[in-house]
Amino acid sequence: MFGDPEQMAQAIRQFADMLSAPQGSGPVNWDMAKNIARHAVVAQGDPSVMEGERRQIVEALNLADLWLNEATALPSGVSTPQAWSRSEWIENTIPVWRKLAEPIAERMVETMGGAIGGSGLPPEAQQMAGPLMGMLKQMGGMMVGQQIGQAIGSLAREVIGTTDIGLPLSDTAALLPGGVASFSSGLEHPADEIRLYLALREAAHHRLFQHVPWLRGHLLGAVEEYAKGITVDTSALEEQIRGLDINNPQALQEALSGGALLKPEETERQKAALARLETMLALVEGWVATVVDDAAAGKLPSAVALAETVRRRRATGGPAEVTFGTLVGLELRPRRLREAAKLWETVKEARGVDGRDALWAHPDLIPTAEDLDDPEAFVRGDSAWDISQLEEKPGDEGDES
C-alpha cells in the first residue's frame, strides 16, 4: 500500500527536513534544497576530485591568469584556484542561489499556501483553519525547495566552473573536472588546450568581478528586480493542485515545473530591468571573449574553434537557461554577445587596452544597448569619456561636482 520503499524513505527524509527548518528562516528550507541537489548529482555519479585532476586544474588556472596579464589592465582575480566535484560546486554556490531564487520562491509559497488551504473554503472556515494554513505554507515551502534542489542538481551535472551563467556564483575561481570532461566530449582538440581555454574564461570573469566593485551588485540587483515583477499563475496552480496525486512524486515534480506557472508582468519597470540585465550580460561576455581571444592568440592553436563552440553553447541556451527559467522565470542569455565583443574590440583599437578597461571604472561609462548598434559612434564619443578628467575632479579645490 505504500508503493516503492525507496520513494517512501525519500519522502520521510524530506518531511523531516521540512520540520527541521527553523522559524523565520525564509520561504524555502535551503538545507533541504541543498541535500536534494546533492542527492541528484550523487545518483548520477559524483566521484571526488583526484589529486592528478586537481593539479591539472590549478596549473591551468594559474597559467591562464599569467597569460591574461598581457591582455587586460585589470589585475589578477585568482588567489586560490580550486578543482571541485559537483557536490562541492553546490555547497559553494548555494548562498548566491538563495539570493537569486528567494524573491520568486516567496511568491510561490504564499500562492501555494492559499491555493492548497483556501480553495473552495468560505471565509469563516479559512479563519478557523489558521494553524493548518501555516502548516500548508510549510509544505508549500518544502515543495518549492524540492523543485529548486532538483534544478540546481541538474545544473551541477553540466557546469564547467563558477561563471557559466555569466553571474558570479562564487568568489573563488574553480573548474569541475567532470564538467570539463563533458564539454570536451566529441571535440577533436587536445585535452590540455581545452582545459586551458576554459581556465582562461574562468580567470577572465574573476578579474572582472573582483576588480569592478559595482558590477556584482549591479547584475544580482537586476536579477532581483526582474524577479520581483514575476507573478504566479494562481488559476493554473490551483488546477495543478486539485488534480494532484500525492502518492505520485513524479506528478508533484511536473506540477511544480516553474516555467508554465511563472509570468512576467509587462510593465515598463519590468522591461527596463530585463533590458538592463541582458545588455550587461552581453557586455560581460563580450569583454571576456575579447580578452580571452587576445590572451590565447599565438599560444592555443584551437582557441578560435573553442571560442565558437562556447558562443554557440551560450547563445542557444542550455542547462543554465532551463535552471533560471525554473528559479526566477528568466531566460539568462546574452543575446547580443557578438555585438558586444565587436564593440570592445573597436574600443581597444581606438584607445588601447587601458582605455578599454578603464570604462569599467563606473557604471555611467559603460556602453548602452544603443551603443551596441553603433560601436564607431560610441568610440567617437565626446570629452565626457575622457577618464583623466574624471580622475582630476576630486582634487579640484572648491569643486563639489
Q: Choose the weakest-confidence range: 169-173, 225-229, 277-281.
A: 225-229
Helix (H, G, I), strand (E, B) or coil at 245: coil
- Is pLDDT larger for residue 10 or for residue 107? 107
Q: Choose the weakest-confidence range: 102-111, 139-148, 232-241.
A: 232-241
Q: Which tens digit of pLDDT belongs to each residue from 31-63? A: 888 999 999 899 888 999 999 999 999 999 999
| pLDDT at position 400 | 42
- The rounded distance, in Å, linking the Cα atoms of 314 and 327 is 19
Indicate the pLDDT class of residue 392, thresholds 50, 70 and 90: very low
- The rounded distance, in Å, linking the Cα atoms of 313 and 319 is 10
Instruction: Give the residue-averaged pLDDT of 126-134.
Output: 54
**DSSP tally for the chain: helices H, then strands E:** 18, 4
Task: Indicate the length of the chain as a whole number.
Answer: 401
Pairing of strands 230-232, 262-264: antiparallel
Q: Which tens digit of pLDDT belongs to each residue from 348-360? A: 999 999 999 999 9
Could you identify the residue written with the cell 590549478? Answer: 58
Q: Which tens digit of pLDDT belongs to each residue from 186-208? A: 899 999 999 999 999 999 999 99
Q: Is the pLDDT score of 249 beyond 60?
A: no
Output Rg (C-alpha) for the chain, integer angstroms: 24
Return the axis-axis angle of helices 86-118 and 213-228, rounded to nearest 10°.
30
Kindly state the percentage of the chain with pLDDT values over 90: 43
- The rounded distance, in Å, linking the Cα atoms of 171 and 211 is 11
| pLDDT at position 382 | 46
Q: What's the DSSP call for residue 259?
A: G
- From the list 129, 130, 139, 136, the residue with the least C-alpha distance to 18 is 139
CB contact at 8 A, 89 and 156? yes
| pLDDT at position 268 | 78
- Which pTM does this prediction carry? 0.80
Residues whose CB falls within 8 Å of the CB of residue 209, separated by 6 or more in sequence, listed in order: 77, 163, 168, 215, 216
Q: Which tens digit of pLDDT belongs to each residue from 205-228? A: 999 999 999 999 888 888 877 777
